[in-house]
């Protein structure tokens, strides 16, 4: 009984690595692709979770994704005899891997954002320039009229001119905001199956003994 419990625990911890069903990897990849494209139903997600060996709660997250990657890595390590050809004195067998390869499929993610609108606005008033203009105007007015009244009038005119010069100065600043749709490109991994050549063997008999030699075709 104790041995059975230990074996059960070991199987539970190893998950789909021990029981990888690589004969259904094409179906598994098709379901995973639908999950990545957000077209999978709740039933499809649960079915895929069962196939990769995790709890079928219908929520595809990091745990499910890791289990799927483990299954793919396990199945990608297997090789299958695809073709055997007879040659003089022996036979040649080619071995292939039914591998899952991934392609990056682009998709757009859009959101509404406020973008600033820039324009020309009046520059900040410099009080020192206004005061300076008044002082200069006052001096000129007194010199011209030779009296304090002329100085006062000159100060007023000088200050007004300085103020108008300040208004004529502009700067670039934010004058409003526009609602715009901003899109960015992201990528999802999309699986597909590919038969990839792995190696070949040649089997022959020599002096009553059978030999198997592995080689790579060019």
Query: Among 181, 193, 31, which Cα is nearest to 112's?
Result: 181
- Tell me what pLDDT residue 154 has: 59
Are the C-beta atoms of 137 and 154 separated by less than 8 Å? Answer: yes
CA 164, 170, 173, 175 torsion-angle sign: positive
Which two three-digit tokens encode residue 197?
Answer: 């050549």
Confidence of residue 175 (pLDDT cuts 50, 70, 90): confident
The pLDDT of 117-138, averaged and rounded, is: 63
| Percent share of the chain, pLDDT over 90 | 44
Q: Which residue has the higher pLDDT, 151 or 192?
A: 192
Q: What is the domain partition of the chain in residue ranges? A: 1-78, 111-179
- Mean pLDDT is lowest, of 11-15, 64-68, 118-122, 183-187, for 11-15
- Mean pLDDT is lowest, of 15-24, 45-54, 101-110, 152-161, for 152-161
- Tell me what pLDDT residue 155 has: 57
Confidence of residue 151 (pLDDT cuts 50, 70, 90): low
Confidence of residue 144 (pLDDT cuts 50, 70, 90): low
pLDDT exceeds 90 at position 99 = yes
pLDDT exceeds 70 at position 188 = yes
- Tell me what pLDDT residue 42 has: 97
Q: How far, in whole angstroms, is CA 100 from its chain's centroid?
A: 21
**Half-sphere exposure (CA, 13 Å, Cβ side) for 172?**
3
Q: How far apart are CA 202 and CA 88, in angstroms?
A: 11
Confidence of residue 159 (pLDDT cuts 50, 70, 90): low
Q: How far apart are CA 167 and CA 37, in angstroms?
A: 58
Q: Which residue has the tokens 């007015």?
A: 141
- Tell me what pLDDT residue 51 has: 95
- Tell me what pLDDT residue 149 has: 55
Q: What is the pTM of this model?
A: 0.56
- Tell me what pLDDT residue 87 has: 85
């Amino acid at each position: 009984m104790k041995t059975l419990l230990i074996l059960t625990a070991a199987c539970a911890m190893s998950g789909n690595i021990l029981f990888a069903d690589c004969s259904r990897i094409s179906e598994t990849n098709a379901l995973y692709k639908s999950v990545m494209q957000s077209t999978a139903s709740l039933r499809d997600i649960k079915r895929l979770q069962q196939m990769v060996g995790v709890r079928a709660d219908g929520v595809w997250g990091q745990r499910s994704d890791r289990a799927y990657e483990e299954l793919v890595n396990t199945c990608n390590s297997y090789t299958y005899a695809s073709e055997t050809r007879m040659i003089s004195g022996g036979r040649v067998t080619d071995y292939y891997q039914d591998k899952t390869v991934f392609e990056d499929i682009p998709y757009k993610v859009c959101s509404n954002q406020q973008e600033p609108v820039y324009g020309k606005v009046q520059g900040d008033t410099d009080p020192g320039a206004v005061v300076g203009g008044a002082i200069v105007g006052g001096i000129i007015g007194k010199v011209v009229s030779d009296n304090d009244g002329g100085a006062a009038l000159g100060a007023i005119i000088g200050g007004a001119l300085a103020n108008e010069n300040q208004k004529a100065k502009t700067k670039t600043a934010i004058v409003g905001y526009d609602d715009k749709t901003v899109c960015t490109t992201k990528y999802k991994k999309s699986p597909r199956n590919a038969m990839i050549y792995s190696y070949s063997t040649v089997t022959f008999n020599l002096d009553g003994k059978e030999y198997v030699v592995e080689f790579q075709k060019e």
